[in-house]
Amino acid sequence: MDLDFTPAEQAFREEVRAFVRTNLPRDITHKVLRHRHLLKDDYTRWQDALARKGWLVGHWPKAHGGLEWTPVEHHIFDEECAAAGAPRLIPFGISMVAPVIMQYGSPWQKEHYLSRIRDNKDWWCQGYSEPGAGSDLASLKTRAVREGDRYIVNGQKTWTTLAHFADMIFCLVRTDSTVKKQEGISFLLIDMHSPGITVRPLILYDEEHEVNEVFFDDVAVPAANLVGEEGKGWTYAKFLLGYERTGITGVGASKRELALLKGVARHELKGGKPLAADPIFRAKLAEVEIELLALETTLLRVLAARDKPGPEASILKIKGTEVQQTLTELMMDALGPWAEPFSRQVIEEGGTAAPFAPEYAATLAARYFSWRKTSIYGGSNEIQRNIIAQHVLGL
């Protein structure tokens, strides 16, 4: 693998930089770089701009309206957007359910749903986890019973990210309880505006309304919204999780946070020598930078070698989330007492609660607590190690 970017790739990087510089709203950049609370409008304004350019789904095949970016081009795009302070692209439609629909969906599903994702018309969420089915996802109990040309769905999903914004949910449901639990699961596309759906917020340690409980009470879903075959949902779910785990890697955002951490380490918050002069902290900083560089190289190798994510995605997910958490821990260490408990007003409106600390100091505790979840969602890192042992090492 050649680690040097070609002239064409360098030119693409400059094109992305110019576009982001011109089209990314400054108020959104201000929020992202200071870890402020983002509204739905912040995400949609940026994704609308990308959709108009054709870059919202630049990595998609041309047959489905994409540009067939190479893995390197997609990586460059992610890296430049993150460095400039763009919000993350909401992945549930673009990078998670879309590949499933492309691979297993009906012609109508491809024509209808992929075009709406490409044009940023539908906001999707993921209906996997349940109160009794998290890491043991195959134990899910949400039921879908076929009645003529529709399914009637009853049950509950939990930890459903941004469901309060969503127009659609891709949902794992049990359609057969008489077979092995993995074989009785189907994959449904459900309109979140359907009668019988209730969304209830779950407020986390960082006081953000990011995740929810979703209840289904006799929700009617057209049978045409079944993806693939009934009872094959477990296969489709595993296919999707490969894309989710690769996306969780978050190399671009981690490189941005590393640059921010280096800036803090060079700054003299209270006089005296900067923290970067401390050999112990400097060694920790070097270690996480080396881990991040190795992760970036591994990501590019995996993407370049495979048409779709395999078990290697579990390696990327583990290392990506470990790097993310380490960066938040080192930032808390760097600011010490200035990384004080956060203020809801500061997170939403700006400003700082500490007179001599950087503006983002008041949000670091919230970010630290929030990032504890990255090693759990998408399949806990313990589960990922089991996958690696079984499917990579053959143990």
Tens digit of each residue's pLDDT (9 = 90 or more) over 308-333: 778 888 999 999 999 999 999 999 88
Residues of the chain above pLDDT 70, percent: 91
Determine whether 244 is an active site residue. Answer: yes
Whether the Cβ atoms of residue 360 and residue 293 lie closer than 8 Å to each other = no
Residue 24: φ, ψ to 5°: -80, 115
pLDDT, average across residues 28-50: 93
For the ranges 90-94, 124-128, 201-205, 321-325, the lowest mean pLDDT is seen at 201-205
SS3 (DSSP) at 220: strand
Whether the Cβ atoms of residue 58 and residue 94 lie closer than 8 Å to each other = no
Q: What pLDDT was estimated at residue 273?
A: 76
Say whether pLDDT at 161 is over 70: yes
CA angle 105, 56, 87 (to 5 degrees): 120
Q: Residue 281 corresponds to which tokens in the numbers above?
A: 């902290």
pLDDT, average across residues 138-157: 97
**Nearest-CA neighbor of 101 among 89, 118, 88?**
118
Calpha distance 266→277 (Å, rounded): 8
Q: Residue 70 corresponds to which tokens in the numbers above?
A: 């190479």
Per-residue confidence band for 205, with pLDDT thresholds at 50, 70 and 90: confident
More confident of the two residues 4 and 63: 63
Domains in the chain, CATH or no CATH each: 7-89 (1.10.540.10), 124-231 (2.40.110.10), 249-391 (1.20.140.10)
* Residue 55 DSSP one-character state: -
Classify residue 189 as exposed, middle or buried by CB count within 10 Å of its CB (0-12, 13-18, 19+): buried
Q: At what angle do helices 312-335 and 361-370 cross, to 10 degrees?
A: 150
CB atoms within 10 A of CB 103: 14
Q: What pLDDT was estimated at residue 37?
A: 85
pTM for the model stands at 0.89
User: What is the overall mean pLDDT for the chain?
Assistant: 90
Q: Which of 244, 257, 296, 312 is catalytic?
A: 244
More confident of the two residues 358 and 277: 277
Q: Residue 5 corresponds to which tokens in the numbers above?
A: 């970017």
Q: At what angle do helices 40-53 and 26-33 cross, to 10 degrees?
A: 120
Q: What pLDDT was estimated at residue 12?
A: 97
